[in-house]
C-alpha cells in the first residue's frame, strides 16, 4: 500500500501563467459557490453529485456539495486552498487546450477567503483508508487532520460573506438566490447527462437527474415529457464542429431566449451569437418576437474556444465564429425542414392527463373555447368562386412545377371551407387538418417571389400612374427603398416634395382593381419596425406575398380549396406563413377520440 498522503498532483502556477489568466472575483453570490464546487466535482470525474442548500428565514445558511470523484490526498487537500493551485494545467500553453471546467486554481481559495469551508476528502481507489478533513475560515486554516470519509469529496460552505459585509448586503432575497442556483444547475445537468445530480433545498428534493447516455432523458426529468414531445433532433458533423441536441418545433416557443441551452465542450455557456444563429435557423418559422426551446451541445476543437475571457467562464470567445454560427444555423434549418411540423392539436390537459405546459410556452397559440358557439357554418362550397380568386391561384400554379419538386406533405383531400378562412381536409385518412387559406397561399406566393432570381420580376405598367403623398419621414424611407422596389417590379419615381408616382407594379399583384392596395403596401413598407434587421428584399417579398395572397374571408369553392392544398404540399416550408404563423394544424383521430372520451 502506498502512502498517498504524500503524493501531490496540485501545483502552484508560476506568476507568468497567473498573469495570463482572466482574473476576477469568482464568488459574487451563493450560486457562484455552487457553480465552482459542482464544476470541481465534475472535473474530479464524479458520477453522482449531490447539492444540499440549507437556509434560515432570510438567507442561505450553508451549501454542501458531495461527490464520488477522485478525491484528494492529504497534501492536496491543503494545497487546494492556496491561490493559483491547480492540478489541471501546468504551463501557459495548456491554456490553449482546456479540457476541464476549472483551470485557474482560484475557486477554493476565493470561497474560503469569504466563508468557513469544511473539506472532507479521500482519494479514490488508492487503498488509503483515512480521509482528510480541513477547515478554513476567512482564508486561514483552522483545523486539519485524518477522518473517516467515503471515497470522493465533500465541501461544506457556511457563513458565506461573513467578513465582507458589503458583498453580503448586495445579496438578493433568499428565494432569488435559490432560483439562480436552480437555473444554473439545469444548465449543468443538461451539459452532463452522464452524471446524476440531486439538488435539495432544506431537505426538499428540487432537481434530480439520472445518469444516462441520452440528453433526452435529462430534458424529460427537468422539463417534463410534454416538452420532449415537441422536440426534434439536430445533428451535424463538420471537421471543426460537431453539433448535436434537440430543438423545439415552432409550435413550442417562448417570449425570451432563456430556454435556449448551449453547451460547448460540455461547458454550459451563454453566447448571444449562437442564440441568434439558432433563432435565424428557424427563419420565418417563428415570429420575430418568439424564441424556440433548444438544447444544443457543441463539440468544438479546443484550440478554437477561448474560455479564458471571463472570470466565471460563462462567456467564451470563438475563433472561426462565422463558420461556427453558420453551421449551427444550417443544422437547425435542416432539422426543421426534414420534420413534419404541423402542430398537432392535443386534447386539453384535463382530458388527457398530459401535464399542462409550463409557464408561457404556447402551443401554436391555439385556444380551446368550448363555451362559444360556432358563429360560422361549414360551407357547402358550391358557391362559384370569384374570378379574382381563380386568377390568384393561377398565378401561383403557373410558376410551380417548373422544377419537379418533392412534396413535403402527403395528399390531402378537402372536405370544405369554414368561415371563409379555414380549409378542412383529411390527411392519410386518420387526420383532420385545418388550413388557414390566407397563410398557406401567402407562403406559396412568398416562396415563388423569393425564389426568382434578379431581373425575373415581371412588372405591369399602370395605365394611369398612382400618385402617393407621404409624410417627410416616410418619404425619406421610401426614397431609400426605390432601387430595391424596382428590382421586385415596383416602379416608383419621385414627383415633387414627398410625393411619388407609381408607374408599374409586380404582375403577381394582379389587375389593380383598387389603388388603395398600393397605398397599403407602401404604408406596410415604411411602417414595418426594424426590431430584427430583415433585408429589404425579404421585407418587400413578404409584403407582396401578403397583399397578393387570397384573403381571409374569401369564400372559395371546394375545387379552389383543393388547389391551395395541392400547392402548399410542395412549398419548401409548408408549415408557416412568412411571418411565422402556422399555416395548418391537425387533429389525429386518436386525439379526437380522447376529446370525445371514446378511449
Ligand atoms: P481549479 O478547479 O481551477 O483547479 P480550484 O480552486 O477550484 O481550482 O481547485 C483547486 C484544486 O483542488 C483542483 O485543481 C483539484 O485538484 C482540487 N479539487 C478541488 N475540488 C475537488 C474535488 N471535488 N475533487 C477532487 N479534487 C478537487
Ligand atoms: Mg475549480
**Residue 121: closest CA among 85, 159, 80:** 80
Per the DSSP assignment, residues forming a β-bridge with 317 are 306
Q: Which atom of ligand 1 is nearest to the CA of 9?
A: 16
- Cβ atoms 227, 247 nearer than 8 A: no
72: DSSP letter: -
Regarding the beta carbon of 41 and ligand 1, being less than 6 Å apart is answered: yes
Q: Which atom of ligand 1 is nearest to the CA of 100?
A: 2
| Grid coordinates of 204 | 426538499
Residue nearest to atom 19 of ligand 1 (CA): 40
Per the DSSP assignment, residues forming a β-bridge with 134 are 119, 144
The 3 state secondary structure assigned to 543-579 is: HHHHHHCCCCCCCCCHHHHHHHHHHHCCCCCCCECCC
d(CA 586, CA 127): 63
Does the pLDDT value for residue 124 go beyond 50? yes
Q: Is 84 left (phi over 0), alpha (psi -120 to 50) or beta?
A: left
Residue range 63-111, pLDDT digits in tens: 999 999 999 999 999 999 998 888 888 777 777 787 888 887 889 998 9
Question: Which of 395 and 358 is assigned the larger pLDDT?
Answer: 395
Residues within 5 Å of ion ligand 2 by Cβ? Answer: 40, 102, 107
Average pLDDT over residues 370-399: 53
* Nearest ligand for residue 155 CA: 1
Exposure pattern of 288-300 as b/e (b: 16+ CB <10 Å)? eebbbbbbbbbeb
The pLDDT of residue 62:
96
3-state secondary structure of 209: coil
Average pLDDT over residues 533-542: 78
The pLDDT of residue 6:
63
Question: Cα–chain-centroid distance for residue 212?
Answer: 23
3-state secondary structure of 14: coil
Q: Ligand 2 centroid vs 532 CA: distance in angstroms?
A: 39
Residue range 410-422, pLDDT digits in tens: 999 999 999 889 9
Q: How confident is the model at residue 20 (pLDDT cuts 50, 70, 90)?
A: low
Residue range 145-165, pLDDT digits in tens: 999 899 999 999 999 988 888
**What radius of gyration, in Å, describes the C-alpha atoms of the chain?**
31
d(CA 197, CA 42): 11
| Grid coordinates of 199 | 439538488
Q: Which atom of ligand 1 is nearest to the CA of 152?
A: 24
Rounded to 5 degrees, what are φ and ψ at 407?
-75, 140
Average pLDDT over residues 257-281: 93
Regarding the beta carbon of 136 and ligand 1, being less than 6 Å apart is answered: no
The pLDDT of residue 375:
34
Question: Which of 531 and 233 is assigned the larger pLDDT?
Answer: 233
**Residue 262: closest CA among 304, 240, 292, 283:** 292
Lowest mean pLDDT among 29-38, 64-73, 194-203, 508-517: 508-517
Residue range 290-315, pLDDT digits in tens: 999 999 999 998 888 888 777 667 77
- Cβ atoms 294, 261 nearer than 8 A: yes
The pLDDT of residue 434:
95
- What percent of the chain has pLDDT above 70? 85
The pLDDT of residue 137:
94
Question: Which of 24 and 51 is assigned the larger pLDDT?
Answer: 51
Given ligand 1 and candidates 24, 35, 40, which is best to mutate, with the most ligand atoms within 8 Å of its CB?
A: 40
The pLDDT of residue 338:
81
Residue nearest to atom 13 of ligand 1 (CA): 86
- What percent of the chain has pLDDT above 90? 40
DSSP letters of 470-482?
--HHHHHHHHHHH
Give the dihedral sign, CA 251/252/258/259. Answer: negative
Question: Cα–chain-centroid distance for residue 89?
Answer: 33
Does the pLDDT value for residue 324 go beyond 80? yes
d(CA 571, CA 479): 33
Does the pLDDT value for residue 598 go beyond 80? yes
The pLDDT of residue 363:
41
Regarding the beta carbon of 40 and ligand 1, being less than 6 Å apart is answered: yes
Does the pLDDT value for residue 515 go beyond 80? no
Question: Which of 496 and 254 is assigned the larger pLDDT?
Answer: 254
Does the pLDDT value for residue 428 go beyond 70? yes
d(CA 552, CA 436): 8
Q: Ligand 1 centroid vs 190 CA: distance in angstroms?
A: 22
Q: Which atom of ligand 1 is nearest to the CA of 110?
A: 6
Q: Ligand 2 centroid vs 24 CA: distance in angstroms?
A: 14
Regarding the beta carbon of 104 and ligand 1, being less than 6 Å apart is answered: yes
The pLDDT of residue 456:
53
d(CA 233, CA 331): 10
Does the pLDDT value for residue 16 go beyond 50? yes
3-state secondary structure of 458: coil
The 3 state secondary structure assigned to 266-302 is: CEEECCHHHHHHHHHHCHHHCCCCCEECEEEEEEECH
- Cβ atoms 304, 320 nearer than 8 A: yes
Residue range 561-576, pLDDT digits in tens: 999 999 999 888 899 9
- Cβ atoms 153, 3 nearer than 8 A: no
d(CA 469, CA 472): 9
Question: Which of 352 and 267 is assigned the larger pLDDT?
Answer: 267
Alpha helices in 409-464 (DSSP H): 437-451
Average pLDDT, the chain: 83
| Grid coordinates of 258 | 432563456
Residue range 170-190, pLDDT digits in tens: 777 888 899 889 999 999 999
Q: Ligand 2 centroid vs 100 CA: distance in angstroms?
A: 9
d(CA 261, CA 422): 36
* Nearest ligand for residue 75 CA: 1
The 3 state secondary structure assigned to 225-237 is: HHHHHCEEEEEEE
Regarding the beta carbon of 311 and ligand 1, being less than 6 Å apart is answered: no
The pLDDT of residue 81:
93
How many alpha carbons fall within 13 Å on the CB side of residue 250?
A: 33
Q: Ligand 2 centroid vs 44 CA: distance in angstroms?
A: 10
Q: How confident is the model at residue 346 (pLDDT cuts 50, 70, 90)?
A: low
Regarding the beta carbon of 108 and ligand 1, being less than 6 Å apart is answered: yes
Average pLDDT over residues 489-500: 88
The pLDDT of residue 66:
98
The pLDDT of residue 306:
84
d(CA 571, CA 398): 14
Q: Which atom of ligand 1 is nearest to the CA of 101?
A: 2
Amino acid at each position: 500500500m502506498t502512502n498517498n498522503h504524500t503524493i501531490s498532483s496540485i501545483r502552484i502556477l508560476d506568476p507568468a501563467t497567473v498573469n495570463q489568466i482572466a482574473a476576477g472575483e469568482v464568488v459574487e453570490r451563493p450560486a457562484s459557490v455552487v457553480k465552482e464546487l459542482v464544476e470541481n466535482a465534475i472535473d474530479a470525474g464524479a458520477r453522482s453529485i449531490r447539492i444540499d442548500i440549507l437556509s434560515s428565514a432570510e438567507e442561505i445558511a450553508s451549501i454542501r456539495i458531495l461527490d464520488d470523484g477522485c478525491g484528494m490526498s492529504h497534501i492536496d487537500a491543503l494545497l487546494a486552498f492556496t491561490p493559483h493551485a491547480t492540478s489541471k494545467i501546468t504551463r501557459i500553453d495548456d491554456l490553449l487546450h482546456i479540457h476541464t471546467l476549472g483551470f485557474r486554481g482560484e475557486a477554493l481559495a476565493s470561497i474560503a477567503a469569504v466563508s468557513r469551508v469544511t473539506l472532507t476528502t479521500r482519494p479514490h481507489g488508492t487503498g488509503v483508508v483515512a480521509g482528510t478533513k480541513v477547515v478554513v475560515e476567512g482564508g486561514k486554516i483552522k483545523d486539519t487532520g485524518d477522518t473517516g470519509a467515503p471515497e470522493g469529496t465533500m465541501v461544506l460552505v457556511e457563513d458565506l460573506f461573513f467578513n465582507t459585509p458589503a458583498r453580503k448586503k448586495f445579496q438578493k432575497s433568499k428565494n432569488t438566490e435559490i432560483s439562480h442556483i436552480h437555473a444554473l444547475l439545469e444548465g449543468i445537468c443538461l451539459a452532463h447527462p452522464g452524471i446524476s445530480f440531486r439538488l435539495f433545498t432544506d431537505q426538499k428534493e428540487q432537481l434530480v437527474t439520472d445518469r444516462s447516455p441520452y440528453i433526452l432523458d435529462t430534458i424529460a426529468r427537468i422539463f417534463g415529457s410534454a416538452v420532449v414531445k415537441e422536440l426534434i433532433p439536430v445533428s451535424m458533423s463538420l471537421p471543426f464542429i460537431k453539433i448535436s441536441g434537440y430543438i423545439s418545433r415552432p409550435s413550442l416557443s417562448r417570449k425570451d431566449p432563456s430556454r435556449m441551452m448551449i453547451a460547448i465542450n460540455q461547458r454550459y455557456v451563454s453566447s448571444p451569437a449562437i442564440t441568434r444563429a439558432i433563432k435565424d435557423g428557424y427563419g420565418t418559422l417563428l415570429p420575430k418576437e418568439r424564441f424556440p426551446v433548444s438544447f444544443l451541445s457543441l463539440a468544438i476543437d479546443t484550440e478554437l474556444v477561448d474560455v479564458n475571457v471571463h472570470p466565471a467562464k460563462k462567456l467564451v470567445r470563438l475563433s472561426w465564429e462565422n463558420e461556427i454560427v453558420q453551421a449551427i444555423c444550417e443544422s437547425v434549418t435542416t432539422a426543421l425542414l426534414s420534420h413534419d411540423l404541423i402542430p398537432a392539436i392535443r386534447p386539453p390537459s384535463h382530458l388527457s392527463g398530459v401535464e399542462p405546459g409550463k409557464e408561457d410556452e404556447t402551443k401554436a397559440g391555439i385556444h380551446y373555447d368550448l363555451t362559444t358557439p360556432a358563429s360560422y357554418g361549414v360551407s357547402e362550397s358550391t358557391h362559384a368562386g370569384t374570378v379574382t380568386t381563380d386568377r390568384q391561384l393561377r398565378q401561383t400554379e403557373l410558376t410551380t412545377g417548373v422544377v419537379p419538386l418533392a412534396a413535403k406533405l402527403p395528399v390531402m383531400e378537402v372536405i370544405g371551407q369554414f368561415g371563409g378562412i379555414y380549409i378542412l381536409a383529411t390527411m392519410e385518412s386518420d387526420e383532420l387538418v385545418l388550413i388557414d387559406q390566407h397563410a398557406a397561399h401567402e407562403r406559396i406566393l412568398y416562396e415563388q417571389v423569393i425564389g426568382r432570381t434578379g431581373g425575373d420580376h415581371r412588372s405591369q405598367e399602370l395605365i394611369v400612374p398612382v400618385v402617393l403623398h407621404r409624410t417627410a419621414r416616410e418619404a425619406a424611407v421610401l426614397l431609400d427603398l426605390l432601387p430595391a422596389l424596382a428590382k421586385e417590379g415596383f416602379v416608383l419615381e419621385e414627383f415633387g416634395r414627398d410625393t411619388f408616382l407609381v408607374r408599374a407594379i409586380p404582375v403577381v399583384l394582379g389587375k389593380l382593381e383598387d389603388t388603395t392596395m398600393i397605398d397599403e403596401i407602401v404604408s406596410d413598407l415604411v411602417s414595418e419596425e426594424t426590431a430584427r434587421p430583415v433585408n429589404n428584399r425579404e421585407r418587400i417579398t413578404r409584403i407582396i406575398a401578403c397583399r397578393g395572397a387570397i384573403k381571409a374571408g374569401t369564400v372559395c369553392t371546394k375545387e379552389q380549396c383543393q388547389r391551395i392544398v395541392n400547392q402548399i404540399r410542395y412549398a419548401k416550408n409548408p408549415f408557416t406563413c412568412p411571418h411565422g404563423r402556422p399555416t395548418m394544424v391537425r387533429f389525429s383521430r386518436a386525439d379526437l377520440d380522447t376529446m370525445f372520451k371514446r378511449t
